[in-house]
């Protein structure tokens, strides 16, 4: 299996939500001279989120290709010790990269490899990336919402609740919501029995 690393940009992550570019087309070749063509990627609807290509710590639920690269979005599973530690390290900037694990086929051009097939197996949070343009663009939490609509959508998406439940919680909690204090929102969610 091949692996390719990419740097990431991290924000605070109280709920473990992670999104970013796992492979940047603009920053290829990577540090070892490899290219992956946009049409080369093969992947399912979801991909396992691993820590340093070893332990699964979550799931990337959205995977897509755009003009910038391979985009992923998902959540670290904070119900495990490994997930809690990974979320804390991501928020602190200790995990500064994404890395893709894949099987593939390539052709050589001088000293470079050009992958014509890259069947993705997983995407990992890593400490040292190789593709300098692939970045995590956000590690977001509910405390970063800027409007009641964004807060409601975050509740629905990240907690897996219905739109009606999310709207009721958002309407009750938003007037008292202080985006600067994660403890306040955790307390509000506990009132609705939505935290573990």
CA distance to 50, 54, 58, 85, 126, per residue, from 82 (Å): 10, 11, 10, 5, 14
* pLDDT score, position 163: 81
* pLDDT score, position 179: 47
* pLDDT score, position 150: 76
The β-bridge partners of 35 are 114
Residue 176's contacts (CB-CB under 8 Å, 6 or more residues apart) are 184, 188
Backbone angles phi, psi at 89, to 5 degrees: -70, -35
The encoded tokens of residue 143 equal: 């405390």
Contact 55, 177 (CB under 8 A): no
C-alpha angle 145-51-76 in degrees, rounded to nearest 5: 30
> The pTM is what?
0.66
Higher pLDDT pick, 189 / 125: 125
């Amino acid at each position: 299996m091949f692996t390719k690393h990419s740097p990431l940009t991290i924000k605070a992550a109280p709920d473990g939500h992670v999104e970013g570019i796992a492979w940047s087309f603009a920053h290829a070749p990577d540090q070892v001279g490899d290219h992956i063509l946009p049409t080369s990627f093969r992947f399912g609807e979801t991909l396992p989120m691993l820590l340093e290509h070893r332990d699964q710590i979550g799931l990337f639920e959205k995977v897509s290709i755009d003009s910038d690269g391979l985009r992923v979005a998902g959540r670290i599973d904070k119900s495990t010790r490994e997930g809690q530690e990974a979320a804390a390290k991501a928020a602190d900037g200790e995990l500064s990269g994404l890395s893709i694990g894949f099987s593939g086929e390539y052709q050589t051009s001088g000293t470079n490899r050009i992958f014509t097939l890259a069947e993705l197996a997983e995407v990992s949070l890593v400490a040292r990336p190789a593709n300098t343009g692939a970045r995590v663009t956000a590690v977001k939490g509910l405390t970063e919402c800027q409007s009641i609509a964004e807060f409601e959508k975050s509740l629905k998406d990240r907690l897996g609740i219905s739109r009606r439940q999310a709207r009721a919680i958002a309407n009750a909690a938003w007037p008292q919501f202080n985006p600067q204090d994660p403890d306040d929102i955790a307390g509000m969610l506990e009132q609705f029995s939505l935290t573990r």
